[in-house]
Amino acid sequence: MSEALRDLIASHDRILVFTGAGISVDSGIPDFRSPGGVWTRIDPLTLSADRIHGDRRDRAAFWRALLEVADAVGAPAPNAAHHAVTALQRRGKVRAIVTQNVDGLHQAAGSPAGSVIELHGNLEATKCLGCGSRAPLVEVLEQVRGGDALPSCEHCGGFLRPDLVVFGDPLPRGELAKAHAAARDCDLCLVLGSSLTVYPAADIPADAHRAGATLGIVTLSPTVLDAQADFRLRAPLGEAFVEAVEALG
């Protein structure tokens, strides 16, 4: 257990937790960028906004790729690291959670939905580009699995898209603004399991540091902010972070 990480958390009371794919690995969700990950099997650009608005072949390829992503994610349960974040929230230490993940595991661990800022959306629903109606994504993907290559809106027949950020989409302005506001209000930005390679999401911790917050990074991979970090630990979250939170008592 890292006593330094425990002391870092203990000495701050307005913490912004910023999470990436690494926090969900212990839930069985693979890192898509690692060897053998999803992005080694399919071209990530297949899941692009252009494909959603493309011809029949492009849209069919999009839905096949999204089905493969959803199958890789599966139906995971939150792990000890998610629960540790929630525990810090209940102690009044964590003000907000900003996540790049689309798995909804922070909410499943008990973090109030209003406190979780999902920069890339989630895998819960689709929305119709025609009438705006929503449908559970799992139901739409079952249609694709059953042979419906081009699922459409049951109300108006319009094109569907997942309610998440795909390649070529801008980040939702409202969520991005909330994330930057949280960054400027925290006294510690604690990065958990993110390599900080995806922008503009990865600019949130840098914004917090510019505003005077302490920057702590706990992740196995190097990041572009390592040299600026006040605290840096390369260790599995299920060990270092969880044990540090438990040691707070």
User: What's the pLDDT band for 157 if we cut at 50, 70, 90?
Assistant: very high
Distance CA 93, CA 111 (A): 13
Give the other-Cβ count within 10 Å of 50's Cβ: 12
Is cis: bond before 200, omega within 30 of 0?
yes
pLDDT bracket for residue 112 (50, 70, 90):
very high
- What pLDDT is recorded for position 12? 98
**Which residues are paired to 59 by β-bridges?**
none
**Per-residue pLDDT at 187 exceeds 60:** yes
What is the domain range of residue 21?
Answer: 1-28+77-120+170-249
194 with 231, same domain: the answer is yes
Mark whether 108 and 6 lie in a shared domain. yes
Statement to judge: residues 190 and 249 lie in one domain: yes
Report d(CA 177, CA 110) in Å as an integer: 24
Confidence band, pLDDT 50/70/90 cuts, at residue 72: confident
Per-residue pLDDT of 78-108, as tens digits, reads: 999 999 999 999 999 999 999 999 999 999 9
Task: Say which of 82, 120, 155, 209 is annotated catalytic.
Answer: 120
Do 196 and 183 share a domain, yes or no?
yes
The bridge status of strand 121-128 relative to strand 134-136 is: antiparallel
Q: What is the mean pLDDT of residues 14-29?
A: 93
Q: Reduce the DSSP state of residue 134 to 3 states and report it.
A: strand
Average pLDDT over all residues of the chain: 92
- Asked about 120 being catalytic, the answer comes back as yes
Any idea what the CATH number is for the domain that residue 34 is in?
A: 3.30.1600.10
Q: Structure tokens of 186?
A: 């925290």
The pLDDT score that the predictor gives to residue 36 is 64
